[in-house]
Structure 1
Amino acid sequence: MDKNKLKQYFPTASLADSPQKREGMASLSLGERFFLNLELNSLTDRERYLLELLQENQDNIPRAPWQDFFDGQGPIPTSVGQLQVLQIKLWSNPSEEVVQAWLEFMETLLPNLVSHYASASDYFVFIMDQRPFIDYQEILRDTIGVMEYDFGIKMTAFLGQIWPGQVQEWWPDAIRAEMDLFRSWMQKNLSASFLTFSQLFFLDEAKDKAVMRILSDMIAKHEMEDVIRALWDNGAVLTKAAQSLFVHRNTLLYRLDKWFELTGLQLRELTDLALLYYIVESQVLG
């Protein structure tokens, strides 16, 4: 999507993450949760007619049940123990045959895949039940380059958090926040093949409050605050952190592994550790 060309052709239009519903405005979905909001009085009769045709076509496209759930417009389609969502943006324009072959490969790559859908021809959402847990960070890092070569496509994959069933009521808020993070990253025209939640969270100036609240509650419930502080104070060195907590190194390692399975956050990695330390400190300062 060429935003400069959009601005050139429609100088009074705005690009936003939600449709503008006030009188005299019309919105056109551009996929990836982007909307082009247009002032009707700035359009010619021909442009208005074309817009009506495009809107009719969009209204006839069925929405995926999971898409409705994430948008807060429907119930959860399937029972899931621990939710994790993978978003993939295709930067190339592969044929339908290539996309279908790639999707079939993704279904074999993600054995606990519950469902997937495309809200645009180049934007795909994969829903996984992470019970039992599978480390998709390692799998995706090892296979994205291979997929790009084998299928002749260019992609960016964003692997979201693991959200446990205890916070299911917050799942739509959490996933919408993840989608907003990915959309914001794409608007910056940066380049990467694989992204994690922690990486994009620190690039987001707004720091979504719903996500911080959910993670804060999880830290408290599993009594991880002291562990997070000990690891941060000791540079993520397990032996030193364990000594400061007066526990055996293996005991600490076990707790970190269980936390990783629960959340997808690896406290031995500084980016994930920094995210949780930021949340812990925000509680104190807030």
Structure 2
Amino acid sequence: MNFNQFKSIYPSAFLTDVSKNDQAFLTFPYQNKWINFDENQLTVSEKKLLYLIFNQDITMQNLETPQSKWYQFLIEDNPSLPIEKGIYRVVQFDITKKDTRFDKKLWLSSFKSFFKDVQEAFFIDDHYGLLIHRYSGFSAAQEETIGILQTLDDDFSTKTSGYIGQYWPLSLDFKQFFKEEQTIFLNQLQKSKQVFSLSDVALSYYASEALSKSPIIQQLKKDLASHPEIKELITAIWLNQGNISLAAKYLYIHRNTLQYRLDRFFEEFGFSLKDRNDLLLCYLLTI
């Protein structure tokens, strides 16, 4: 295809003499120049098609880690702030399942397109990365972020988890806050739902050390450990805030089946998972 044909399909496309180092655009070598496409105007399928058209070798690109100012500030030991001021948060993501054709650059550009005021997004290793965006009166809620990742998982045949960080004013303390959020995310990655935030895991994360010192708690944990299926039961009730119908759907069982298991649990252990205090205690026993 010549440039005019591309232009007729993508009116915002343009040519440059050098590669445009701007993550808002997809850029490909084209007839001794570079052709640029606005990513916000491309669907996931269109991006895949453009990569095929230009026969772009993205293997090496995917292995490169962008050395942006945010990367240097958060991951490396560079003390310089990446930008002068503002309020920002970090969304962490971890792709635990992907096929051999997975395109990191395409996935990342698609992920960014769902958020407003994105400052930077990059992979740190083969599966884990960060998205930083600025507070501007709008922020994707947890349910929206779950929907975003589910959409991408469907499109890319992946399985992804995410952590929504708190908004913090940009200062030298920002890196310290991020490091703690990073520790929380990696610690709770296999213990929580697909997308979670501090309020979802604060209790289990910060209480775990104190609980480990209690002989009573340790004995109760030992009793529950002899019934591995009970942890799944307690977790389902906890994550669904005591709603039996939602918990049954979470477990893929009938509501009556779940009710029977709750009755059996009460008979054996003396705790009612319908009671908020009992449920809290039992949840603490599973962490």
* TM-score of the pair, normalised by structure 1: 0.45
- In terms of Rg, which structure is larger? 2
What TM-score does the superposition give when structure 2 sets the normalisation length? 0.45
